[in-house]
Amino acid sequence: MAWAWFHRLGSSPWIYRFSGSLLGYLLPLAMTLVVVGSIWGLAFSPPDFRQGNSYRIIYIHVPVSVVSLAGYYVMAIAGAVSLIWRLKVADMMMRVAAPIGAALTFLALLTGAVWGKPTWGTYWVWDARITSMVVLLFLYLGVYALYEAYDNKALASKACAILSLVGTVNIPIIYKSVDWWYSLHQPASIKFTGGSTIDPSMLYPLLLMIFSVYLLYACLLLMGLRLTLLETEAKTAWARKEVMGAQ
Amino acid sequence: MSELHWQVGRGELWQIKGDNGAGKTSLLRAIVGLAGQSIEGHLSVISEFLFLGHKTGVKSDFTALENLRFQLGSTNDHDPSSLLDALGQVGLADYSDEFAYQMSAGQQRRIALARLFLSEQPLWLLDEPLTAIDVDGVGLIESLIAQQVRRGGTVIYTSHQPLKVELSTRTLHLRGRGLSPYVS
Amino acid sequence: MSHSVLGKVVMRQLLLAYRRPAAVLNPLFFYGVVVLLMPLGLGPKQAVLSEFAPGLLWITALLAALLSAEIVFRSDYDDGGLEQLVVSGDSMYLASLGYVIAHWCLTGLPLALVSPVFAQLLSLPAQGLPALVISLTLGTLILSAFGCLGTSLTVALRRGGMLLSLLLLPLEVPVLILGSGIVTRAVNGMPIEALISILAGLALLAIALTPLAIGASIKISLEV
């Protein structure tokens, strides 16, 4: 039974069709949830005790940060699978995950800046989480740059898989050390999260947004995968048929 | 190149022939394991082998003797006397303590060739062994190869022109992009 | 037998460096030049320099490590030695470890030993000196490990230099934080034993794991 799946994962047309039908369900669901969550958080949740309305950007900032970090692991795991089992689809997943993850990290930093200005009067604050995210962004950019630097893309994928795995081992160490660094040089207590307990009326839209951004990420991954499949197999019959319709 | 089905038996002498760019070096590199990502198919090498590539691996800051002693990838530790012997066999006995940068390209090539004397490997894979070799050296290489084959070893080499070895040589002709190779 | 691969690579690299000392001296000269730039950029006030000294000394160590990393595999790649290593079937793990250890002996260790001189130039208080030497000794081991890893991925690429910095610096953030943190705390009279053990642990982790990746990356680079 497992072997049947393994076989299917090696067949590009099957992957294309399967992901297509998956997307048919997931994409509308993800988009709906994101819209609902955003409106709920941005418009309908109660204002914060200390920060008033400007805190609302966390409904985008936090989910995006969480998924951007998870995305690195997705990329690394895809790379590992590609290295161990030599599955082309895992290869492509890794390639696709890199720019998506980088964009998410950048978005997280951007929304962090949007939050910073009205709250603390400055666009940028070197707090632990933001700093870790900058490092994460550079980890992503490194993988992307390495991929582009190799002409032979099969080799590029292997190299990137190795780099992502090294990054994966490093990420917990980086986050821990940045946390410690922040506590060493602690300025007047500026913290990005509010109090230690968060009211349910704020928590639920947040959780919903986290879930829906995860879903959206999965959809973007699948869409990118399909595009890459078509690109790399542009000369095959099945790809032609998909693009130009049955002839 | 397109499909290749090739089998080499023990004690055979093969020349891989083809124009520049036909893939002689790539094929040899694939056999020794330097092209894992670029080939599809089944490859098995049932032997320990010695590979002399296009580049010599000779370090100009080392003496000839040190080059042999610290050669990367030589699996046996040889004592200095056998290293000197090997240098002697390639005609560099008097140069053992000369730095490689003081030697000519031909002499540096001979340092690389000295490894053939140190090896006990049954299979030799030589990529363009005549590169930068002077006239005396050519004869040396030819006799080395003949010796190896007579001992029951196997030699595969790439070259434009055949070496004058008085043993039957089979040839694999590579014809370049899209054309299948043939054997003679 | 396998022991000899590690020993042979280390001896080989040391001998090569002995023949061409520039490889060892250049990073040290670079370090000196950058240290010279600090007061020129920050002003000569001792109070200012000594406050920033731990961070400056460590940042410069990172930059020097970056420069020296670039050339680790360059000549062996260019003249075919690396090919021979891979083809021979010798343990790539031990060979890579040999490269890392040799690199550290030739760059990180000398730097750590000479660092008190540079520390004086930047008015680092005396309590910080032992911490500086110890943290540099351990930290540069990690920098060498990552440096070899980065360069093994980029040696076959044209213009790999810039890319190398991009790859290495994010990974070296923890070393910088820990290293400069240790020196700062020592200057302020706070205990550093725990931090040093953490740094030592990270160093051991680095030299245990990176040779795996380095070996795989060398094979990839040879196929380019």
Across the interface, whether the CB atoms of B38 and A152 are under 8 A apart is answered yes
The answer on pLDDT for A51 being more than 90 is no
What 3 state SS string does A115-174 have?
Answer: HHHHHHCCCCCCCHHHHHHHHHHHHHHHHHHHHHHCCCHHHHHHHHHHHHHHHHHHHHHH
Q: Tell me the pLDDT band of A219, cut-offs 50, 70 and 90.
A: very high
Chain C: give the shortest CA distance to residue B71, in Å. Answer: 8
d(Cα B125, Cα B110) in Å, to the nearest integer? 16
Domain covering B1-47+122-184 assigned CATH 3.40.50.300 in the classification: yes
Per-residue pLDDT reduced to its tens digit, B114-139: 888 887 788 889 988 888 787 778 88
Using an 8 Å CB-CB cutoff, list chain C residues near A169. 209
Span A109-137, pLDDT tens digits: 999 888 888 777 888 888 888 999 999 99
A175 pLDDT above the threshold of 50: yes
- Check whether A189 has a pLDDT greater than 70: no
Kindly report the CA angle at C40 between C37 and C45, in degrees rounded to 5? Answer: 120
Which among B59, B72, B75 is the top mutation candidate for probing chain C, defined by the most C β-carbons within 10 Å of its own β-carbon?
B72
d(CA C186, CA C199): 15
Cβ-Cβ contacts under 8 Å between A and B: the total is 6
Q: Is the pLDDT confidence value at A221 over 60?
A: yes
Closest by CA position to B108, among listed B50, B147, B62, B150: B62
Three-class DSSP labels, C33-91: HHHHHHHHHHCCCHHHHHHHHHHHHHHHHHHHHHHHHCCCCHHHHHCCHHHHHHHCCCC
Burial degree of B156 (CB within 10 A; 0-12, 13-18, 19+): buried
- Domain coverage including residue C47: 2-223
ipTM: 0.93
d(CA A61, CA A130): 11
**Which residue of B lies nearest to C91 if distances are taken between CA atoms?**
B73
Closest residue on chain A to B35 (Cα) = A155
Q: How far apart are the first and last CA of chain B?
A: 18
Contacts of C170 in chain A (CB under 8 A): 135, 138-139, 142, 167, 170, 174
- Amino acid at residue number C218: I
For the stretch B14-61, pLDDT in tens is: 888 887 777 788 888 888 888 876 677 777 777 788 888 888 888 989
Q: pLDDT band at A201, cuts 50/70/90? A: confident
> What b/e readout covers C29-66, taking b as 16+ CB neighbours within 10 angstroms?
ebbeebbeebbeeeeeeeeebbbbbbbbbbbbbbbbbb
pLDDT at A187: 54
CB contact under 8 A, A142 and C166: yes
For C163, the closest of A145, A165, A166 (CB atoms) is A145
Average pLDDT over residues A230-237: 81
- Integer Cα distance of B108 and B60 in angstroms: 9
A46 token code pair: 């109660």
Domain count, chain C: 1
Identity of the residue in C163, C178, C224 whose CB atom sits nearest the CB atom of A177 = C178
Interface check A36 vs C, CB under 8 A: no
Q: What is the reported pTM? A: 0.91
Q: Does A158 touch chain C (CB under 8 A)?
A: yes
Q: List chains adjacent to chain A, taking adjacency as at least 3 C-beta pairs closer than 8 Å.
A: B, C
Matching residue, tokens 């001979």: B110
